[in-house]
A = this chain, B = another copy of it.
Amino acid sequence: MSSKQLNNLSGLCIHTITTKPWNIEEAAKNYSANGVKGITVWRDALTGRNLKKTGDMLHKHNLSVVSLCRGGFFPGKEYSRRKAAIDDNRRAIEEAFELGTNLIVLVCGADPSQSLEDSRKQIFEGISTIIPEAKAAGVKLAIEPLHPMYADSRSAINTMAQANDLAETLNSPWVGVAVDVYHVWWDPNLEKEIVRCGNNKSLLAFHVCDWKTPTADMLNDRGLMGEGCIPIRKIRSWVEASGFNGFNEVEIFSAEYWKTDQSVFLKNIITAYKTYV
């Protein structure tokens, strides 16, 4: 099992949400100037922009557009909500195509007014419905299992086992799984399920950050790599052993870091990346 240190930034991707105070033009310029090679674009960063031109701008900064975040949120007790979700996911596929990325991360969704079983069925149906559009656009869909603390309203898919089961049942080359250490680090079956995902050639993305003790907020208090208890390098070694050779994507929601100077934060991300990822 390899767990070697990262000596360069060739695998480093940063999510626009990580440096939320920057607009996408500032993020691209600063990432690129600091040697970052990949960017994952959150859809809020695209508001009011021409997507084709924005994609060109990113490529001019030598940034690979690793993925678009995020599609999903398929479940809803009411049909109208499910229909709206399908429409929104179709728009996301168009946006990904125009932006020039071949991957969308899916936060699958959940509706606390119905059972998890119903939400899971609707997630299956939602993804099934959009596979033809994904295929036509050449865009893959990555099911991201979310931490069980989000099972009420954000995702009824909460473990790698569930994500693998779902991807296997959908059985499409356009559907795979995204591994985010924040969501899955606690799982005693993690290594086994990463191996299974790799055997299926389904591991499409790898996100990193850290889990702080204490965590002050369930959404926006993620830690910089090295600040918490997640064995990031060990998990990366499992992901790489499974055959994945894509980017290591830094995705940190942090009200605390968003308040700080983002240029300093970016340098700290790079140091943390080399030291702890």
Q: Is the interface of A mostly helix, strand, loop or mixed?
A: loop
The contact of A153 among B148, B213, B218, by CB within 8 Å, is B213
**Residue of B with least CB distance to A230:** B152
The residue on B at minimum CB distance from A116 is B186
Copies in the complex: 2
Residues on the B chain within 8 Å of A187, using CB: 148
Partner of A113, one of B186, B188, B229: B229
The answer on a CB contact under 8 Å between B218 and A152 is no
Within 8 A of B (CB), among A42-71: none
Q: Does A31 sit within 8 A of B, measured CB to CB?
A: no
Inter-chain CA distance A153–B159, complex, in Å, is 20
Within 8 A of B (CB), among A112-135: 112-113, 115-116
**Nearest CB of B to A177, in Å:** 16
Residue of B nearest to A221 (CB): B218
A152-B228, A213-B152, A229-B113 known; A162 vs B147 contact (CB < 8 Å): no
5 cross-chain pairs, A with B, having the tightest CB-CB distances, nearest first: A112-B229, A151-B186, A149-B149, A148-B186, A112-B213
Sample (26) of A-B pairs whose CB atoms are under 8 Å apart: A112-B213, A112-B228, A112-B229, A113-B229, A115-B231, A116-B186, A116-B188, A148-B148, A148-B149, A148-B186, A148-B187, A149-B149, A149-B215, A151-B185, A152-B211, A152-B213, A152-B215, A152-B228, A153-B213, A153-B214, A158-B186, A159-B188, A161-B188, A162-B188, A215-B218, A218-B218
Chain A residues with a Cβ under 8 A of chain B:
112-113, 115-116, 147-149, 151-153, 158-159, 161-162, 185-188, 211, 213-215, 218, 228-229, 231
